[in-house]
Amino acid sequence: MTTQQPAVLKNLDEVRAMIRRHKLNDYIFSIIGLIALMVGLLTLLTLFVDLVMDGYPRFNQEFLSNFPSRRAGSAGLLTAWVGSLLVMTVTFVTAVPLGVAAGVYLEEYAPKNWFTDLIEINVSNLAGVPSIIYGLLALGLFVYILDLGQSILTAGLTLALLILPVVIVTTRESIRAIPVSIREGAYAVGATKWQVVSDHILHYSFGGILTGIIIGMARALGETAPVITIGALTFIAFLPPAPVMAEPPFLNFEWLQSGFTVLPIQMFNWLSRPDHAFHTNAAATGAIIIIVTLLMNGTAIWLRYRIRKNIKW
Amino acid sequence: MSMATEVLNNPLELRISDRLAKNFRRHFKERVIEFILMMAALSAVATTVGIVAILLYESAGFFAHVSIVDFLTDTQWTPLFEDAHYGILPLVMGTLVTSGIALMVAVPLGTIAAIYLSEFASHRVREICKPILELLVGVPTVVFGYFALLFVTPMLQKIFPELPGFNMLGPGIVMGIMIIPYISSMAEDAMRAVPMSMREGSYAMGATRFQTAVRVVAPAATSGIIAAYILGISRAVGETMVVAIAAGQQPTMTINPMEGAATITAYIVQVAMGDLPHGSIGYQSIFAAGLVLAFMTLFFNLLGHLARKKYREAY
């Protein structure tokens, strides 16, 4: 309004304009940031909806109870999910004791020297090795040198090696979170190291270790490449021998040597066929895999969140 | 147990030698347990040794037939054909092109998401978004392969009508989305490790959030951010199922993302699906390819380690 504004005021207006501009930049960036985050979320959602819609015609009981077939409409997942279950059993039985024991050793027993450093470097390096390399290791070592064949045992051991770093790292993290005072209290009343570990350390770190095991098993369920590499068959029209029998000795371990297929391999097999009817089967399989893995991972995340919230030392 | 009851019945008979014997047993048991636990920890070392030994052993058989010069310079990879060529370059090229596309998607999106989560997002937004990103990590790669082949590629074909069904663009983009969570969570960790006092200093000078994030926090966290990128590269290079499903399995020497090609990992899957006799040159070739892949990921992992060390700032 005034024809001659004082210099200071004019500057002040400029400063205000600059602040407005910068605030606007802030605002714009926060929107861009949200969009970038949404890409991940939306992908997950689209992926899920796409699979469920494509696979919808196969969501019935026959799909789970039928053997694979040359006709897409009557092909089922029976051998695949039984195979996955058995392979995961072997993986669980191997990876959990080995991984927890290694984690406990590194955290509670290991002296600080070059030897311990070597083991630690190895564990962190193994976490970065591509899964298909584990498949090559298994092909050379388990299948041919140890002569275990292309069996459930081989696949289970391979996946166990693959998830070992996950189990070791989470075991160590949850043990590290336990305060020294707990250990000191136990030692003070005369407990040995193993008594401290088995009665206190494992007890308090159980929840954390469990999250690691669940995440590892979810990964083992979805892994395809290493299991293909050891030569899992893709067309299997028989079930492995039952692990439990009606008459003594009740347990039967022949299934360990049986040929097998697993869910992701069955999906890959159907996906690589030119016939589009099989793609529907692949989508339905994918939907099942993704639901199970999301449930497992979701449980693990929820568990970790609860532990973090509840435990106050 | 029996000794305990004995002692209870006859407390006077508890002799020094009994107590020492018990002590010895106790110590012996402790030693045995420690030894077993150490063996378990050594399984990690054994795995590494096993991987290196198997890869080198089988590759040695391969290189007895094929000269290393041919392997590294020939531009055709046709080990299973009559006219066999053993040049790894087309496979390396396919790997690098798909990984490159993945990085072009994941680096900007991952970095922006990390800056947003670390500097802008409210506590609640962070609590909701981080678990979702973690869930994305847990999705099996074979499912992403389906997504690339039957969702992303058809969508891209609407934009580029001449795009073939098998191409490197679609799987590259999907792989990029797949590794966003790896990059964003590592980069966010690095940025949150920057001390609060540096942000406060910046705000005190009148800087906005955006200025603080880009000019103060991000430079201070450079080492961690670069390490996150390199981890992302390493993931993309080793990724198998997405490219095996959606990129076609034809080794082609091309940098055109619109064409199909085979990566190192896709080749290994392709051969393993067939039934090659143990000890044949085709069988050995997947170990040679695996050796190259292992070297590439080792290189990137070492680089990431060095980056983290070199740029680490002491606060």
Q: Do A137 and B51 touch (CB under 8 A)?
A: yes
In this prediction the ipTM stands at: 0.85
Q: Are residues A29 and A95 in the same domain?
A: no
The distance of Cα B264 from the centroid of its chain, to the nearest Å, equals 15
In order, the DSSP letters of A10-79 are HHHHHHHHHHHHHHHHHHHHHHHHHHHHHHHHHHHHHHHHHHHHHHGGG-SHHHHHSPP-SSGGG---HH
Assess if residue A189 is contained within a domain. yes
Beta-carbon count within 10 A of B202 CB: 18
The closest CB to that of A225, out of B47, B116, B265, belongs to B265
Range with the poorest average pLDDT among A6-15, A24-33, A288-297, B158-167 = A6-15
Mean pLDDT over B213-237 rounds to: 89
User: Which residue's entry shows tokens 């099996």?
Assistant: B140
pLDDT at residue B309 tops 50? yes
Do A50 and B238 lie within an 8 Å CB cutoff?
no
Question: Searching chain A, which residue's CA lies closest to the CA of residue B32?
Answer: A194
A83 part of a folded domain? yes
- Answer yes or no: do A291 and A254 share one domain: yes
> Which of A58, A131, A132 would best serve as a mutation to test chain B binding (most B beta carbons within 10 A)?
A132
pLDDT over 60 at A1, yes or no? no
Q: Is residue B224 predicted with pLDDT exceeding 90?
A: no
Residue at A1 is within a domain: no
Q: Is B272 on the interface with A (CB under 8 A)?
A: yes
Whether residues A50 and A73 share a domain: the answer is no
Summarised one tens digit per residue, pLDDT across range B153-176 is: 888 888 888 888 888 888 999 999
**Would you say residue A219 lies in a domain?**
yes
Cβ–Cβ below 8 Å for B44 and A37: no
| Per-residue confidence (pLDDT) for residue A147, from 0 to 100 | 79
DSSP per residue, A106-161: IIII--SSHHHHHHHHHHHHHHTS-HHHHHHHHIIIIIIIS---SSHHHHHHHHHH
Of A140, A225, A298, the CB nearest to B54: A140
Domain count, chain A: 2
Q: Do B116 and A36 touch (CB under 8 A)?
A: yes
Average pLDDT value for residue range A44-62: 82
Q: Evaluate if residue B34 carries a pLDDT over 70.
A: yes
C-alpha to C-alpha distance for A72 and B193, rounded to whole angstroms: 53
Residues of A in contact with B237 (CB under 8 A): 130
Residue-range domain boundaries for chain B? 2-65, 89-310
**A98 and A230: one domain?**
yes
The confidence band for A246, taking pLDDT boundaries of 50, 70 and 90, is low
Same structural domain for residues A83 and A51?
no
Q: Residue A81 is part of a domain; what is its CATH number?
A: 1.10.3720.10
Lowest mean pLDDT among A60-64, A275-279, A300-304, B203-207: A60-64
Whether residue B175 lies within 8 A of chain A, CB to CB, comes out as no
Whether a cis peptide bond, with omega within 30° of 0, leads into A249 is yes
Neighbour tally for B99: CB within 10 Å? 28
Share of chain A above pLDDT 90, in %: 21
Residue that is last in its domain, among A24, A39, A56: A56
CB contact (8 A) between residue A225 and residue B50:
no
Whether A100 and A21 map to the same domain: the answer is no
Same domain, yes or no, for A207 and A296? Answer: yes
Which residue range(s) make up the domain with A83?
Answer: 60-310
Please tell me whether residues A195 and A47 are part of one structural domain: no
Average pLDDT, chain A: 84
A32 and A177 both lie in a single domain: no
> Is the CB of A109 less than 8 angstroms away from the CB of B239?
no
| CB-CB under 8 Å, A225 with B143 | no
- Asked if the structure places residue A242 within a domain, the reply is yes
Select from B24, B59, B240 the residue whose CB has the most chain A CBs within 10 Å, as the one to mutate to test that interface. B240
pLDDT in tens, A122-170: 888 888 889 999 999 988 888 888 878 788 888 899 999 999 999 999 9
Q: Which token pair is A104?
A: 């406990």
Would you tell me which CATH number, out of the four given (1.10.3720.10, 3.20.20.30, 3.40.50.10800, 3.40.710.10), belongs to the domain B89-310?
1.10.3720.10
- Chain B stretch 69-98, residues whose beta carbon is closer than 8 A to a beta carbon of chain A: none
| pLDDT of the residue at B247 | 82
Q: What is the pLDDT of residues A37-46, one digit of tens each?
A: 888 788 888 8
Q: Does A85 reside within a domain?
A: yes
The answer to whether A29 touches B120, Cβ cutoff 8 Å, is yes
Inside any domain, residue A2: no
Query: pLDDT tens digits, residue range A77-129?
Result: 888 888 889 899 999 999 999 999 999 999 888 888 888 888 888 888 888 88
pLDDT higher than 60, residue B308: yes
